[in-house]
Amino acid sequence: MFTMLLSCYVLGTGTIFSIPLSNKISIKKKEYSLELLTINILKKYIWECEKEILNFADNASKLEFWHVNVEDVVGVFNEDDIKQKLKGNKMKPNFLFRKYFINKPPKGNIHIIIQLPATTDQWLTDVSHDIATLGYLPRQDGCGGTRLVKIDQSVYTAEGISLTDPDVNKRPDFVPYLAKSLMEKRVLLVQASPYFGKTSLSQLLEDYLINSSNLRVLRISLLWGSSVGIRCKYDTFGEVWKNIIGVEWYEWVGQCEKIQTVLIIDETQLIYKNEKQNQADVSMKYAGSAADFWDSIKLCFQGINLCIIMFAAYGYGPNSAGLSSSVHIPANNSIGLAEIKFTDEVLEKYIKDYCVKNFSLSSNDSCIIPQFISYIKHATAGYVGFVHHILQHTMNALQDKIPPQPNDRHSL
């Protein structure tokens, strides 16, 4: 039976775990008494117990331990922060454990900060370096500003657009308004059925913000969980986030203290709660589930240095009727189909320009283009996904019949 519980916090990752200690501990069948336990032996014991978490180190002796006694760790990124903010004391390997823990450590607090060694993995090295230098993790070079490898799309698909495609309508009539609204209201929820242009709008908003502001902007789709081998849902959000971004969710949110941040999150319906989760034991709340995310939404409403816009589908899938967001989003913070679709004026100009450029039609055409515009208006009601779908398939069908043009791309 253990006599005390040590809570450890891994610097740079935000991971917290607990280690039970009894009067004797065993490392590879060798026993050590708590009375004679040195910090170096403690490192080996913790490393053996939590190899998966501490896999950045191939040797327990390379870990640095700091003795602290705090309820939480916020805005701590390097040694200076540990010393100044937490009053941490670096634990010397040859000192006895009881020198630092004369009495049992208080329950519920964090007792040891574990500082990982420099890693040979270049990505992890860059992440650690950025956090130590800036105090926060900036946009990375991957998809949406994450660590995922970026593969640029060459054409429009149902799951997004290519921002380098000259035919893309960057919606200057709507995207700046959406960005301004987000900064004013702190939280926005954009809801629409699948195929109505949510993903492309999230891309356009990201592009606008990174080119018009000094904000830290991050865009993530929860469908990307498959890229790291984990299906994202309410219970796995924390794990998916850490694998895609590189740090724990609450560590990343804490970094917003250093820089104003915008998070654009697509497919948010994947972390809505179902009826069973609504009835779940509260004790499971902070086990890496999306509860942390929804708590941060509440904080955004209170004015922290973070704005979040969520894009979510509804009315899709066999279990959609039993899903709900964990936080009430006021109507004033919600955007629906009517707001995100093309206006008649924008739609008409977009189709006309597209026809002139790709179908060898004159800008003065008074027959084909007006009829095509009328058809698309009637068929799509201005919903972005359907408009792109018709233009793409019309282009594909007419490719062999359209006279070659200078610099003809033969694609959207």
Give the tens place of pLDDT for each residue, 68-92: 999 988 778 778 889 999 999 999 9
Per-residue pLDDT at 120: 42
Between 167 and 187, name the one with better pLDDT. 187
Cα distances from 198 to residues 158, 159, 205, 309, in angstroms, run 10, 9, 11, 11
On the question of pLDDT at 125 being above 70, the answer is no
Do the domains spanning 4-121 and 143-340 agree at the CATH topology level?
Answer: no
Structure tokens at 295: 């708590």
Per-residue pLDDT at 411: 37
Per-residue pLDDT at 412: 34
Per-residue pLDDT at 221: 94
Contact 206, 219 (CB under 8 A): yes
CB atoms within 10 A of CB 184: 9
Task: For domain 4-121, give the fold.
Answer: Ubiquitin-like (UB roll) (3.10.20)
Per-residue pLDDT at 375: 94
Per-residue pLDDT at 266: 95
Task: For domain 143-340, give the fold.
Answer: Rossmann fold (3.40.50)
Of 123-127, 254-258, 282-286, 299-303, which gets the smallest average pLDDT? 282-286
Strand 89-90: give its sheet, edge to edge. Answer: 15-21, 4-10, 110-115, 64-70, 89-90
Q: How confident is the model at residue 18 (pLDDT cuts 50, 70, 90)?
A: very high
Per-residue pLDDT at 54: 73
pTM of the model: 0.65
Q: How confident is the model at residue 147 (pLDDT cuts 50, 70, 90)?
A: confident
Q: Where are the domains of the chain?
A: 4-121, 143-340, 344-398
Task: Give me the amino acid identity at 171.
Answer: R
Q: pLDDT averaged over the chain?
A: 83
Q: How confident is the model at residue 281 (pLDDT cuts 50, 70, 90)?
A: very low
DSSP assignment of 234-269: GGGHHHHHHHHHSS-HHHHHHGGGTS-EEEEEE-GG
Per-residue pLDDT at 112: 96
pLDDT tens digits, 239-259? 999 989 988 898 899 999 889
Per-residue pLDDT at 407: 52
Per-residue pLDDT at 309: 98
- Is residue 90 classed as helix, strand or coil in its secondary structure? strand
Per-residue pLDDT at 45: 93
DSSP assignment of 188-234: EEEEE-TTSSHHHHHHHHHHHHHHH--SEEEEEEGGGGGGGT----G
Between 389 and 116, name the one with better pLDDT. 389
